[in-house]
């Protein structure tokens, strides 16, 4: 049985975090993951997609049994949180929420975190099991005052040693080092997990600060490598996207399973560079990105307020096409690890398989030391 400090501080059985993958819902995936003994994470940025991506907003609301027309945004969030609590009652699974805290997401972030804190105060069961907040895509420091007053386990996703030091200053409990292999949002200045994770561990890991790897982790080999490096676990997005219970549309899940060797590319996403499964539509988007937002390939961030909006319109149209089942216009985000994902198992079976493989690998490690 493998345990790490990540298990100790959260109460999960296995040192794996199922990643949040907004603006798309992960409500049913979160239930299945928490029930399987890993940390189930809800995506939340879908709550802010009503104006630009109303179809996604509808899918997001309905994942929790909410009505996109009639329910207030707070009610939508409450329904989603309650659905996960009810769905994990028997297993007493642990879950949390991923909240993007970039400047343009400040208002929804306040609503999501505020609602989370309210429901936890109203219901002791919620307080006991809805206990992890993963912030991402922004500066953790301005959130420190609010979050450090709570008993939440605070995790933050970031892509550099510099940002890890800032997390430490903010008092983040678990720093998630996000390598460039990862699905969808990636950083402007790319560093992959094999370099980033040990560098972040060296810089910040100690008794009170855990480090977790994300980006490219998808099986026992990669989880074992993270643990051997000194990480407390791994967060996996692409791997969990292609599971039976995942909320993603069939076209998207199957595209991950079918992704061949070298099957992803990076092009503009709405918050910066984003990793997409390679197809004619995403290759066209990459060409447009090179022309209209070359900073994506030069490591120079461009300002959301000045970016050519045709790139964002193209992205929205392509994502909506996935939900409509329109293969020609569809563009689907996923990490490099898609090429290593070749099936669509049930979450429970996947977790058991990953843990068995991890354990076999770790048991064999001492044999290298003769
Ligand atoms: C479709 C998709 C959507 C994502 N959306 C978010 C998001 O809203 N917020 C966030 O912090 N990360 C997001 N991510 C990144 C994941 O949380 C995770 O860090 C990443 O998938 C890890 O890399 P992997 O895909 O190689 O496992 C997304 C990833 C995918 C594949």
Poorest-pLDDT segment among 7-16, 36-45, 179-188, 305-314: 305-314
Residue ranges of domains in the chain = 5-248+343-362, 260-333
Does residue 19 have its Cβ closer than 6 Å to ligand 1? yes
**What percent of the chain lies above the pLDDT cut of 70?**
100
Looking at residue 302, its pLDDT comes to 83
Cα 118–81–18 angle (5° rounding)?
120
Looking at residue 241, its pLDDT comes to 98
Looking at residue 306, its pLDDT comes to 76
pLDDT of 1 above 90: no
Does residue 135 have its Cβ closer than 6 Å to ligand 1? no
What is the architecture, at CATH level 2, of domain 5-248+343-362?
Alpha-Beta Barrel (3.20)
Poorest-pLDDT segment among 103-107, 169-173, 199-203, 235-239: 103-107
Q: What is the mean pLDDT of the chain?
A: 96
Poorest-pLDDT segment among 2-6, 269-273, 312-316: 269-273
Q: What is the mean pLDDT of residues 284-307?
A: 90
Residues 113, 81 contacting (CB under 8 angstroms): no
pLDDT of 303 above 80: no
Q: What is the mean pLDDT of residues 106-112?
A: 97
Does residue 237 have its Cβ closer than 6 Å to ligand 1? yes
- How sure is the predictor about 250, in pLDDT bands with cuts at 50, 70 and 90? very high
pLDDT of 271 above 90: no
Looking at residue 293, its pLDDT comes to 94
Does residue 105 have its Cβ closer than 6 Å to ligand 1? no
Ligand 1 centroid to Cα of residue 117, in Å, is: 24
Q: What is the mean pLDDT of residues 75-103?
A: 97
Does residue 333 have its Cβ closer than 6 Å to ligand 1? yes
Query: Who's near 73: CB < 8 A, 6+ residues apart?
Result: 47, 50, 108, 111
Looking at residue 307, its pLDDT comes to 85
How far is 217 from 221, CA to CA, in rounded Å? 8
Looking at residue 60, its pLDDT comes to 98
pLDDT of 305 above 90: no
């Amino acid at each position: 049985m493998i345990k790490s400090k990540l298990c100790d501080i959260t109460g999960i059985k296995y040192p794996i975090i199922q990643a949040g993958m907004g603006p798309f819902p992960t409500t049913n995936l979160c239930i299945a993951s928490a029930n399987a003994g890993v940390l189930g994470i809800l995506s939340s940025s879908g709550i802010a997609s009503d104006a630009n991506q109303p179809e996604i907003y509808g899918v997001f609301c309905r994942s929790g049994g909410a009505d996109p027309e009639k329910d207030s945004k707070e009610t939508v969030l409450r329904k989603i949180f309650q659905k996960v609590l009810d769905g994990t009652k028997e297993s007493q699974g642990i879950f949390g929420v991923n909240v993007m805290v970039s400047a343009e997401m400040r208002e929804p972030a306040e609503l999501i975190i505020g609602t989370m804190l309210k429901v936890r105060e109203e219901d002791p069961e919620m307080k006991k099991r809805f206990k992890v907040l993963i912030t991402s895509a922004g500066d953790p420091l301005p959130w420190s005052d609010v979050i450090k007053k709570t008993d939440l386990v605070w995790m933050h996703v970031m892509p550099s040693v510099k940002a890890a030091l800032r997390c430490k200053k903010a008092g983040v409990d678990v720093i998630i080092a996000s390598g460039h292999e990862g699905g969808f949002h990636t950083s402007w200045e790319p560093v992959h997990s094999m370099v980033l994770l040990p560098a972040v561990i060296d810089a910040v890991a100690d008794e009170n600060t855990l480090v977790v790897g994300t980006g490219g982790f998808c099986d026992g080999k990669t989880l074992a490598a993270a643990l051997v490096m000194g990480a407390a676990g791994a967060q996996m997005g692409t791997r969990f996207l292609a599971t039976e219970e995942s909320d993603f549309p069939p076209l998207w899940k199957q595209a991950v399973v079918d992704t061949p060797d070298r099957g992803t590319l990076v092009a503009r996403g709405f918050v910066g560079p984003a990793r997409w499964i390679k197809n004619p539509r995403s290759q066209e988007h990459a060409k447009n990105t090179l022309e209209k937002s070359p900073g994506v390939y030069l490591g120079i961030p461009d300002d959301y307020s000045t970016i050519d909006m045709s790139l964002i319109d193209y992205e929205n149209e392509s994502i909506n096409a996935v939900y409509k089942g329109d293969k020609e216009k569809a563009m689907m985000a996923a990490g490099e690890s898609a090429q290593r994902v070749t099936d669509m198992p049930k979450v429970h079976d996947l977790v058991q398989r990953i843990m068995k493989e991890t354990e076999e690998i770790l048991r064999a490690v001492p044999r290298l030391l003769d």
